[in-house]
Amino acid sequence: MKKILIFAAVAFSFLTQLSFAANVAPLGMELGVATIDKVKKEIGSRTKLVDKGLNAYSEGRMLAGSGEGLEVDGLKEITFIFDKSNILAGVLMTLPKGGMENENFKEKLGMLSAKYKIVEKNVPFVGDSYAKFKLGDSIVELKAPHMSFDMSLNYLTNRLVTNFNTVSAKESAEKQKKQANNL
């Protein structure tokens, strides 16, 4: 009986830890936790960041830079998106895709697969490659369009994704309504 209770306690502890898993933390900046001041201090000390105005989906500020000095191979551009409370809601990275065989995509896919739970993956021989990962209240999307030399690695809170989908659907409906009125 004592062994069963100990096993139950250990199992409950493990499941509790899984259910309260932390969010993704690119460059050590945890989504939903890190503040704009922390990003400016810690990331801004390693690479130049400039204010890019307000984000249409989070209604918060954005900081962007080249990413030089962040020790991410090939990083061409990085954008930090914050919510109205100046809490980190997204990190967008632009990286080289890696030639005809998508070498860099496949390398990053392997690295991300080792860290996060994969929830969707499409890596055809020819065409757009895509992978989606989940951790806590955040997702990671790795996208490599077929007709591009670059790929995107996006770290996003679920709330930012929901806001994006809502605003995009509204804009699409308005566009269709305008088109219908013009015909």
What's phi and psi for 107, nearest 5 deg? Answer: -65, -50
Distance between CA atoms of residues 63 and 70, nearest Å: 15
C-alpha Rg value of the chain to the nearest Å: 20
Whether 48 and 65 have beta carbons less than 8 Å apart is answered as yes
pLDDT at position 16 is 38
Distance between CA atoms of residues 48 and 44, nearest Å: 6
Q: How far is CA 145 from the centre of its chain?
A: 17
Q: Would the pLDDT of 14 be above 50? A: no
pLDDT at position 27 is 97
Q: Would the pLDDT of 32 be above 90? A: yes
Listed in sequence order, the residues at least 6 apart from 1 whose beta carbon sits closer than 8 Å to its beta carbon are none
Task: List pLDDT tens digits, range 83-104.
Answer: 999 999 999 999 998 766 678 8
> Mean of the pLDDT values across residues 121-150?
92
Q: What is the pTM of this model?
A: 0.82
Distance between CA atoms of residues 88 and 127, nearest Å: 32
Task: List pLDDT tens digits, range 59-72.
Answer: 999 999 999 999 99
pLDDT at position 38 is 98
Which residue carries 């201090």 as its tokens?
A: 41
Residues in the chain: 183
Q: Would the pLDDT of 157 be above 90? A: yes
pLDDT at position 146 is 87
